[in-house]
Structure formats: structure tokens, C-alpha cells
């Protein structure tokens, strides 16, 4: 992916992410926003790079949330 395409994607995601002070977002927040929009696409983008760590984290959090909803 080119830098320009990546920048366009980040700008698009910033519009969707909750606003923080001075408009800054963490990498985790941006990745989480991408995860919520399209999990399959994010998993594909994360293959063979360090973003795979976010995939593991988000999958675990989703499973824990689903488990909590089932056992209320």
C-alpha cells in the first residue's frame, strides 16, 4: 500500500473515530475503528506484520464480551 493511500485511509478513519484532545488518535484506536468497520479486511491487512497483535487482542476482547453477554 502506498503512503498516499495509507494517509487517505487514516484521514477517513479519523472522521469515524471518537474525537480526542487536539484530534489525535492512538494507533490502537485507529486499528480498532478499522476492526469495527470490516474485521475480515483488517485481518487481511494485518497478515505477516505487527498489526497481527491487534487482531489477537480484538478477537480476545470480542470473545470476552460475547461470553459476558451470554452469562448475564
Summarised one tens digit per residue, pLDDT across range 23-57 is: 677 888 888 988 999 999 999 989 988 889 999 99
**29-44: b (≥16 Cβ within 10 Å) or e:** ebbbbbbeeeeeebbe
Domain count, the chain: 1
Give the pLDDT score at 60. Answer: 95
Q: Is the dihedral of CA 46, 59, 33, 35 positive or negative?
A: positive
Question: Which residue shows C-alpha cell 470476552?
Answer: 64
Range of the domain at 53: 3-18+25-70
Average pLDDT, the chain: 82
Name residue, grid cell 460475547: 66
Q: Which helix (H) or strand (E) holds 5?
A: helix 3-16
CB 54 within 8 A of CB 31: yes
Amino acid at each position: 500500500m502506498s503512503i498516499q493511500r495509507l494517509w487517505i485511509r487514516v484521514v477517513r478513519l479519523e472522521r469515524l473515530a471518537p474525537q480526542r484532545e487536539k484530534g489525535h488518535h492512538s494507533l490502537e484506536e485507529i486499528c480498532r475503528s478499522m476492526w469495527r468497520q470490516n474485521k475480515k479486511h483488517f485481518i487481511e491487512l494485518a497478515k505477516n506484520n505487527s498489526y497481527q497483535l491487534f487482531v489477537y487482542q480484538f478477537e480476545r476482547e470480542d470473545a470476552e464480551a460475547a461470553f459476558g453477554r451470554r452469562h448475564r
